[in-house]
Chain A
Amino acid sequence: MKRKTFLATVVGAALALTAFEAPAQEPIKIGEINHFKRMAAFAEPYRMGVELAVEQINEAGGVLGRPLEFIYRDDQGEPGEAVKIAEELMTREGTVMLTGAILSNIGLAISSLAAEKHYVYLASEPLADALVWDKGNDWTFRLRTSTYMQAAMLAEEAAKTDAIRYATIAPNYAYGKDAVAAFKENLLALKPEVEFVAEQWPPLFKIDAGAEVQALERAKPDAIYNVTFAGDLAKFVREGTTRGLFDGRKLYGLLSGEPEYLDPLGAEAPEGWIVTGFPWYGFDEGAEKDFVNAYQARWDDYPRNGSIVGYNTALSVAAAIEKAGSTEAEAIREAFVGLELDTPVGPVTYREIDHQSTMGAFVGTTALRDGEGVMIDWEYRDGADYLPSDDVVREMRPAK
């Protein structure tokens, strides 16, 4: 091909393309703020989950006839940055609402901005109870099964055993404290004779596991409730196993069954712990299995808990905008209140009373299979069954 002809072809093709694309609709943009670098192990599977859902939605014709598009921005794990980026996304990029955050403090910072500036914010991953209760507001919705709900699920399991003396170990910050308080409250309500004989509070990501294990052993508990995660969990499990802390005791682990935390333990994953998590390997059929298959086909990787949260985030956003019939903030906000949708794990409702979704969690027992930690005998628990009574919620949520 002569050079001129070649150029002409290229230009022609480009023109044809633009001409072809011109009538296509402007995408609906969603601002997604996360700690993609600071918490890469959690944020990346989440992003992949979002992308998968977005691709599926757009293949099926998009939302309101327009394609959906997420704009991803890294907040460096700083609340102040997150607020700045949120403003930029909403005023410059033309996003219609905000999603994201894993760290609770960043979720709370964006939530406060959302209420002030009337932006819709779907807090997809942050777990803090305060987000929907003490510091809840009209413009913030939360998808993930909250600390309280997951702790209540484990408390229900704990109440079924004859253990009386409990010890707790939780990272020394708001999530850890909320998780212990919720577990205590629910367990004592179900079984008043339970006593808590030791509370250990290792600093987040700086656990001195040997010392913590000794301190727990000293209290001679019947059962231990663990809230540590990530690197802290790995160190705790290793020291605890080495020193025989877990022998003959019941162990309850919040989030410990999520692949994000179980997989790094490899063959040293503890056996017989009752945990909340995401047993993607155990799905045989139905929507869950379809999700896992689609995810593996798209990313050549297996889904983590963050993946399903990301997937459901995009589904929720699409459902809300579809229901609103417009991309106006107020319309989306109203659509989110009481929004019902089907997700791979089951139907989810965004409660009118506190904007918490009823997405549940899987509760099961840890075991080893082929040198990998897995959850067995698991069961999906609907989040709606593990929330405080409406009166309690109303009391916690600030008056309008």
Chain B
Amino acid sequence: MGLFIAQLLTGLANAGALFMVASGLSLIFGVTRIVNFAHGSFYMLGAYVGYTLMQVLPGAFGFWGAILLTGVVVGLVGVIVEILVLRPVYRAPELFQLVATFGVILVIQDLALMIWGPQDLLGPRAPGLKGIVRIMGEPVPKYDLALIAITPFVALALWWLIARTRVGILVRAATQDREMVGALGVNQSWLFTGVFFLGCALAGLGGAVQLPKGGADLLMDFNILASIFVVVVIGGMGSLPGAYLAAVLVSVLNVFGVTYLPQSTLVLMFVVMALVLMIRPYGLLGREEVAGDHGQSGEPERPIKPAGARVRLIVAAGLAVLAVVPLLAPSWIAILATDILIFCLFAASLHFLLGLGGLVSFGHAAFFGGGAYVAALLVAHAGTPMELALLLAPLGAGLLAMIIGWVCLRLTGVYFAMLTLAFAQLLWSLAYQWGEVTGGDDGLVDIWPPDWATSNLVFFYLTLVLCIGGILALRHAAHAPFGYALRAARDSARQAEATGIHTRAVQWVAFALAGAMAGLAGGLFVFAKGSVFPNELEITRSFDALIVVFLGGVKTLSGGVVGGAVFESAKDMLTRFEYWRLALGLTIIAVVVLAPEGIVGGLRRLGERIGLLRPSEQET
């Protein structure tokens, strides 16, 4: 009994920091509809700033003062980010801002490394709370008890702010209907900035209060990201009591998981999330999403037309150049081009889902990695030849997409995105933990093409044919009646169903097709690299594709491909510099701010303005 209570207290204490960070994310999302990927970075910043302040300010007063001050400092950093990076892109397509926040992650990573150096910092202990208290014979750290006591106060203060003050009323009104709040004369941009300040300050607080239980290191940002997303989704996006409930639930379950199922802790959280979402699609205390439900935000997408003769000629010429260049250039060019082609197919498959289907998936790596693992497992365990493995990789990934899609498509919007993320994480942990079959994180190695395709050049041509084929197939699907039905379902599910389109079925097929194409890219990747590791199923891989699609331009047909090509090439160049993350982050932010319609959209607009393109030739 004593142990049980002690474990419960450990769980409650862990919930403290988690709640603070997650509630900030939830608040920001609720009001601004921004999925702030950089929230983990503000948490990390909170830990570093808190550490520095605690070194300067002495005693117990200094310790708690430092924590509060950290909240203010990180909140102000958040304000800077909001004003410089996010404000210019509020009118961009839905979820576009997450790309900007991804750029912020990269910038903060390098800045933190420059300022605080590479070594992990051990957090100072809280003055006066260093020891333990024995509860029924079990030791419980005093600081844990302090955290358990403080967290409800933070929660209550937030609740009071939201439920009882005029600012809170405006925030809630904005959560319900942003435009109406604006129409009533409230200055939206300052409201958004204020909420961003509060959200980031909470993340900073979370980072600072966990210092006595840990410290500050440069991997914190990504390490907490998945957990806070899970907490926010389980609780219900935008719901503060939900976030508290979910933080407690996740933390307590984790403590018992550690004791009774020590191997399970990687997946436990995601299993809980998937279960909760299947039973309560909008989280424990969340409400059905209303904003952005009907149609798209921002400027409506232009109708898609088949490419004109001139465009076809240009593309054909481009392909011809692509096919000839590796013949003349040194062999590493063929390798780079192979990588770029594979990535383009992966990006195009997500673009198909996202741009045409309006289905934002945060877990598209499940199918890229899924296809890669299908091919690799077939080779490693059944000695399958490459030709067959490359055929089965898209089929396997497509099948996987059908299963995952069947579950996820019951949800919409951000909840759909989060559920896909949960499934991708489940697959990742399967690959990571099931060592006997998947090789765990030591992966599957020595999976090389057969003799006829070992040359970099031959493999390049194989990739060229398959990737261009895949991209053209996706493009063809977009122009087929199926593509029209898919866009109809995206733009107005109600009207589409009234005209007799079975929207769910159409989306399901699109999900499977996109999954299969990502799987093909994954299969090619395995043979290009000779090995596969769980990295290919990671969140970062899904993010890579997302960013590329948004950077390329969601509302243009070629956005995925162009974005993929530009981003991969830029990355190849920038990673040669010492502070490449800073450079890459700033590049991403610059593209986001300068061309909120993406690269293709921006070029198109530029072309029209200077008269190179006539509006009738817009779609390329």
Contacts and interface: CB of A to CB of B under 8 A. Distances in A.
A109 B255 contact: no
A264 interface: yes
A74 to B, nearest CB: 6
Interface in B90-126: 109-110, 113, 118-122, 125
A80 B121 contact: no
Interface stretch (B9-17, B73-81, B499-507, B555-563): B9-17
B213 A238 contact: yes
Contacts of B597: none
B26 interface: no
A84 B339 contact: yes
A215 B10 CA distance: 12
B124 to A, nearest CB: 10
Interface stretch (B59-67, B294-302, B434-442, B485-493): B434-442
Nearest to A36: B578
A239 B141 contact: yes
A116 B7 contact: no
Interface stretch (B181-189, B216-224, B233-241, B397-405): B216-224
Contact of A211 (B218, B254, B531, B535): B254
Interface in B232-274: 254-255, 258-259, 262-263, 265-266
Nearest to A130: B442
Given A40-B113, A116-B530, 7 more contacts: A113-B530, A172-B263, A172-B266, A208-B14, A211-B259, A243-B139, A264-B121
A210 B3 contact: no
A338 interface: no
A243 B132 contact: yes
A317 interface: no
B488 to A, nearest CB: 38
B215 A234 contact: yes
A205 interface: yes
B529 A79 contact: yes
A37 B580 contact: yes
B336 interface: yes
Nearest to A267: B122
B525 interface: yes
Contact of B219 (A135, A231, A234): A231
Contacts, number: 195
A257 B530 CA distance: 36
Interface stretch (B29-37, B409-417, B443-451): B443-451
A2 B562 CA distance: 55
A231 B211 CA distance: 12
Nearest to A210: B10
Contacts of A199: 262
Contacts of A122: none
A275 B536 CA distance: 35
Q: Can you list the 9 inter-chain pairs with the closest CB atoms, starting with the nearest?
A: A40-B118, A211-B258, A41-B118, A211-B255, A210-B10, A112-B445, A215-B259, A264-B120, A243-B139
B3 A112 contact: no
B165 interface: no
Contact of B442 (A36, A104, A242): A104
Contacts of B335: 84, 87-88, 91
B580 A74 contact: yes
B254 A210 contact: no
Interface of A: 36-37, 40-41, 44, 73-74, 76, 78-81, 83-84, 87-88, 91-92, 104-105, 108-109, 111-113, 115-116, 128, 130, 135, 137, 172-174, 177, 199-203, 205-206, 208-212, 214-215, 218, 230-231, 234-235, 238-239, 242-244, 263-266, 268
B442 A174 contact: yes
Nearest to A206: B223
B191 to A, nearest CB: 35
26 contacts: A40-B118, A40-B218, A41-B119, A79-B529, A83-B528, A87-B331, A108-B442, A109-B529, A109-B533, A112-B446, A112-B448, A112-B530, A128-B442, A172-B265, A201-B263, A208-B254, A210-B10, A210-B14, A211-B259, A231-B214, A238-B122, A238-B125, A242-B141, A243-B141, A244-B139, A264-B122
Interface of B: 3, 6-7, 10-11, 13-14, 109-110, 113, 118-122, 125, 130-132, 138-139, 141, 144, 213-215, 217-220, 223, 227, 254-255, 258-259, 262-263, 265-266, 330-332, 335-336, 339, 432-433, 435, 440-443, 445-446, 448, 454, 456, 525, 528-531, 533, 535-536, 575-576, 578, 580-581
Nearest to B119: A41
Contacts of A174: 435, 440-442
| Residue picked from A174, A211, A218, most chain B C-beta under 10 Å | A211
A267 to B, nearest CB: 9
A81 B139 CA distance: 47
B213 A209 contact: yes
A211 B7 contact: yes
B11 A211 contact: yes
Given A174-B435, A174-B440, A201-B263, A210 B141 contact: yes
B259 A214 contact: yes
Contacts of B336: 84, 88
Nearest to B443: A105
A188 B525 CA distance: 43
Contacts of B122: 234, 238, 264-266, 268
A80 B525 CA distance: 8
Nearest to B141: A242
B576 to A, nearest CB: 7
Contacts of B576: 73
A172 B432 CA distance: 9
Nearest to B219: A205
Contacts of B332: 87-88, 91-92
Contacts of A88: 332, 335-336
A247 to B, nearest CB: 10
A105 B441 CA distance: 6
B405 to A, nearest CB: 26
Nearest to B7: A214
B258 A91 contact: no
A355 to B, nearest CB: 16
Contacts of B339: 80, 84
Contacts of A84: 335-336, 339, 529
